Amino acid sequence: MRRTIPVDEYVGGLSAELAIRFAGDRRWTVDTLYFGGGTPSRLGRDGVERAIEAMRDYIDLAPDAEVTLEANPDDVTEDTVAGWRRAGVNRLSIGAQSFDDEVLKWMHRTHDASAIESAVAAARRSGIDNISVDLIFALPEIVERSWERDVEKALELGPSHVSLYGLTIEPHTPLGRWRSRGELDEAPDERYEREFLFAHEAMTSAGLEHYEVSNFGGPGSRSRHNSSYWTGVPYAGMGPSAHEFDGARRRWNKSGYVDWLREVGAGRDPVEQAETLTDENKSAERAYLGLRTVAGLILSDAEVERASAWIDAGWASLDDRQALRLTALGWLRLDALAADLTLLRSRS
C-alpha cells in the first residue's frame, strides 16, 4: 500500500483519459457512477471531489443517479463524508471484511473492528445512510474466526446492503505462495457451503433480500450499478484495470498504475485489450448472468426438462413464465449449472 497517495497525479491522469476517450462525443447522461478498485477513499475528501468534478466535465448525472464510493473504514470521517456528499456521493461501500481484530491483522487490513462501527456512524451523521458492508467468508481453517459472529455484528449496524465474497487464493500473492509451500489450504467445500447458507438464512431473516449470488439488499437498496452489469447494460470504465462494455464489445485498460499513467500522459488510449462478443459468448453470458440473480433465466421447453432434476434437488424453482431461479443451494453450483445450460443451448 502506498504511504503517500498521488492525488494530483491520479486526478490529472483521469482527466487526461476522459479527454482522450470522450473527445468529440456527445455528453452522456449517467444513471450510476461507481468509484471502486484500489479503494478510492484513499484519495481523501478533496481528491474524491476533484475526481467527480473531472467526470462532470464530460457527463451529466441523472437527478436520481446512484453515486457509490468504495471506502476503507479508517478513511471515513464526518469531514470526509460531508465533502463526498457535496460532490454527489450518496452511497458508501465499506470494506469491513471481518469484525475480528486478529482476522483483520491476518488480512493485512489497516483498520480494526471499532473503525467499522465508527465509519458507519460518521457516514450517517454526515447524511449518507445508504451503506453497503463487505464481508469475506470461507477463510483457511488455520484462521480462527467466528463467521456467525461476523454476520451478526454486520447486521447490528443495520446496513442497507451487504456483499459477501468467498476468499480465493490467487497465484503470485502472499497467500498463493503460502499455499504452494504447504503452509495453508483454502477452506474445504463443506465450510464454504455452511458459511454461505448461514449468511443466507441470517440476512434474509433480518429482512434483506438475497437478490444476487453475493449480494443482499434492503427494500429499494439493490445496487443499481452492479445490477447493470448482470443485465447487460452498456457501461464505461476509466482508470487502471477499468473494464468497459458497449453492448457488443468489451475492453479493459492496462492494469498497472504506472503503465496507465504513462499512456494517458502521452495522449494515448490506455486500452490493454478488447474483444467483440460472438453469439456463443453472448449466449453463455446470458445463462450465467441470468442464473446469478433472482430474476432468473427464461427456459425453453427442452431446457425445462433438463432443469427438472435441479428443481427436484432443491437447487432451483420455476415460475409460470418458465423463468428458472436458483436457490441458495443452487447458487453454490452456479458455474456447473450455467455451463450445463450453455452446452445444451449450443447443441440446439
Cell of 262: 504513462
Q: How far is CA 144 from CA 26, 163, 294, in A?
A: 54, 22, 33
Q: Which one-letter amino acid corresponds to residue 347?
A: R
How is the chain split into domains, by residue range?
Answer: 7-222, 243-276, 279-347
**Grid cell of 29 as nine digits:** 447522461
List pLDDT tens digits, range 288-332.
999 999 999 999 998 999 899 999 999 999 999 999 999 999 999
d(CA 194, CA 24): 53
Write down the pLDDT at residue 178.
57
The model's confidence at residue 1, banded by pLDDT at 50, 70 and 90, is very low
| Domain range 7-222, CATH architecture | Alpha-Beta Barrel (3.20)
Does the structure show a pLDDT above 60 at 18?
A: yes
- Is pLDDT at 49 greater than 50 in this prediction? yes
Buried b (16+ CB within 10 A) or exposed e, 249-273: ebbbbbeebeebbebbeeeeebebe
| pLDDT (tens digit per residue) in 94-117 | 999 999 999 999 988 999 999 999
Q: Is the pTM of this model over 0.85?
A: yes
